[in-house]
Amino acid sequence: MASPSTIIDVVSDRFGVARATVAMQDRMLVTSGHRQITGRGRSARSSPADAAALILAVAATPLSGPSVKETATYYERYADLVATEESGHPASFEIKPLVHLGAGHTLHDALAAIIAMLAGGNERASHLIEGLPEDEPEDETSIAILVELEMPTPMARIHFQIEQRKFQWVTLDGKPHQLEFLRKAVSQMTYISRPEALEKYLETLPKLGVGLWRPSDLTQTRKFTHETLRPVADLFRFEKMK
């Protein structure tokens, strides 16, 4: 468990959003029932699921004007997006620590599981991707995570790129040389609205006629990476070490 205030500090710093704004959005998540209250004051604690909710709420909500008051609406619009293959069938993660989420898991559940995974120190390549050679102590693993939120029509993607570097000494022409072997694994998950949620969103758009809506010609993509998820996860890791 980690302190809600420290999570607010990290999200504010990494997203470049005023702390007061992030704190307001956190309170809105609490009052709308999307984040649980555990303890009060300095004894208050949050879970990876709570941290994922705050990150998603800040990323999905316009950061100025009265729209901030609609944090719960924007959060719900993206938190409940479901993992889906191109065929339209429910999809599950290929990342081994996350496969327990199952097919059709939500975007919020995915972010919470990623934070918990990083907090648990599961960052060796062979522990993450099936088929990669077993890691040795001297091997290097790098993990890049990119989360994209498409707006205004709700859709999201999570990209994983995992690199494993193995080093081996060989003798060539009687001299020792160190060879580097690089293996890469890429995984992407797409999240889309459930039919009933998409219909609810479409009802907010201008109508062209019966059952017809005018899609927005103004779109944007918001992105955040492991540069936010990792320091948030570290809060939970350090808490365990106390």
In this structure, the number of other CB atoms found within 10 A of the CB of residue 79 comes to 23
Token duo for residue 138: 């001297």
Per residue in 179-233, pLDDT (tens digit) is 888 889 999 999 999 988 888 888 887 777 666 777 778 889 999 999 999 999 9
Rg (CA), the chain: 21
The per-residue pLDDT for 209 is 67
pLDDT, residue 40, reads 59
Instruction: For the full predicted model, state whether its pTM sits above 0.75.
Output: yes
The whole-chain average pLDDT of the chain stands at 87
Report which of residues 11 and 89 the model is more confident about. 11
Model pLDDT for residues 96-125, shown as the tens digit of each residue: 989 999 999 999 999 999 999 999 887 889
Q: What angle do CA 56, 198, 203 make, to 5 degrees?
A: 110
Distance in Å from the first CA to the final CA of the chain: 11
Q: What are 112's two structure tokens?
A: 């919470």
How many angstroms separate the CA atoms of 223 and 21, rounded? 19
Q: Would you state the pLDDT for residue 118?
A: 93
Q: How many residues does the chain have?
A: 242
Q: Are 55 and 228 in contact (CB under 8 A)?
A: yes
Contact 4, 50 (CB under 8 A): yes
- Give per-residue pLDDT as tens, 14-63: 999 999 999 999 999 999 989 876 655 555 678 999 999 999 999 998 86
Q: Is the pLDDT of residue 241 over 70?
A: no
Listed as own residue / partner, the contacts of 25-32 with beta carbons closer than 8 Å and 24 or more positions apart are: 25/54, 25/57, 25/58, 25/61, 25/68, 25/71, 26/54, 26/57, 28/57, 28/69, 28/71, 28/72, 29/53, 29/54, 29/57, 29/71, 29/72, 29/75, 32/71, 32/72, 32/75
Mapped onto helix, strand or coil, the DSSP state of residue 217 is: coil
Look at residue 43 in the predicted model and tell me its pLDDT.
Answer: 57
**Cis, peptide link before residue 152, omega less than 30° from 0:** yes
Measured between alpha carbons, how far is 163 from 123 in angstroms, rounded to an integer? Answer: 11
Which tops the pLDDT comparison, 168 or 58? 58
Report the pLDDT value the prediction gives residue 157, as an integer from 0 to 100: 97
Span 123-146, average pLDDT: 89
More confident residue, 75 or 175: 75
